[in-house]
Amino acid sequence: MKNMARSSVMSRVLITAVVALPIMASAGQRIDGMSPNGNMVQAQGMSRAVHSVCAPLTRQLKRGVRDSGMAGEVVRLQSFLARDKEIYPEGLITGYFGVFTERAVQKWQARYGIVSSGDIMTTGYGLVGPKTRSKMAEVWPKRNVSRVDVSGNPGGWTYADVGVSAGELFAMNATGVISYDSSGGSAIPEGSLPRMFVPNTLVPILPHGALVGRIGDRPLEDADGFFVGSSFCQMADRTGGLFLGFNDGYVETGRSGLDIGGVGDNAGNFTVSITVFE
């Protein structure tokens, strides 16, 4: 087999830890995402496996913060709020979280039953904390939601029939098992067990048997490509079609795949759900 061209490098989007604010709540009051005694609590409906939740907003946002210090999330928040003129009639997208943005957040929180009185110090009113971000992620506009099966045989890259643009957030969740040899070896989206790295796979620097991805179909360096696994959440660093693959050997056109190192004995597929956020 000969090496194929590989995929684009992605910039990981990390879900950052939320920094607790000083608590001034009276008994029975709760700041968005905090208990009255100041301990962080899990937002309702959110999985304990944080990496499985893809959220357009991951930072704690409040009046006075600027886009430059919040990884672009102030502009993202303002763009989201500006879709509704009743919520954010000013529609200002400035990158600065000012009084108009705070007022819009308060209206949004009240509409969705999160909090409707107090302030950011007592109840989280006007603060974009865990509960507010979780609800926003739930209702955030999605440009594309689709499913695709990635087969272990014949291998190679599968076009997901989804395109992404640079700066867009997109998420994937995958399930399934693929067997990759006649001796019973199998892999889940995280890869084969025990973990190993094999030359002449789609992305040799990533675990054998894993679900991997690329953006665009132009020739790229062998070291390019990104790990998808069972749960994925990233910003696209370029524009192009999304391709997915089972990170195993592949068969050159005209070969049966039944030879050593081929994929003729592979069976099964990964089922991948894909969401692109606007």
- Convert the pLDDT of each residue in 1-19 to its tens digit: 333 333 333 333 333 333 3
Structure tokens at 168: 């867009």
pLDDT score of 167: 83
Spatial CB neighbours of 89, under 8 Å, sequence gap ≥ 6: none
Task: Provide φ and ψ at 107, rounded to 5°.
Answer: -60, -40
pLDDT score of 71: 87
Domains of the chain and CATH, by start: 61-128 (1.10.101), 142-277 (2.60.120.430)
pTM over the 0.95 mark: no
Q: Which residues of the chain have pLDDT under 50?
A: 1-52, 222-223, 253-261
pLDDT score of 250: 65
| Cβ neighbours, 10 Å, residue 66 | 13
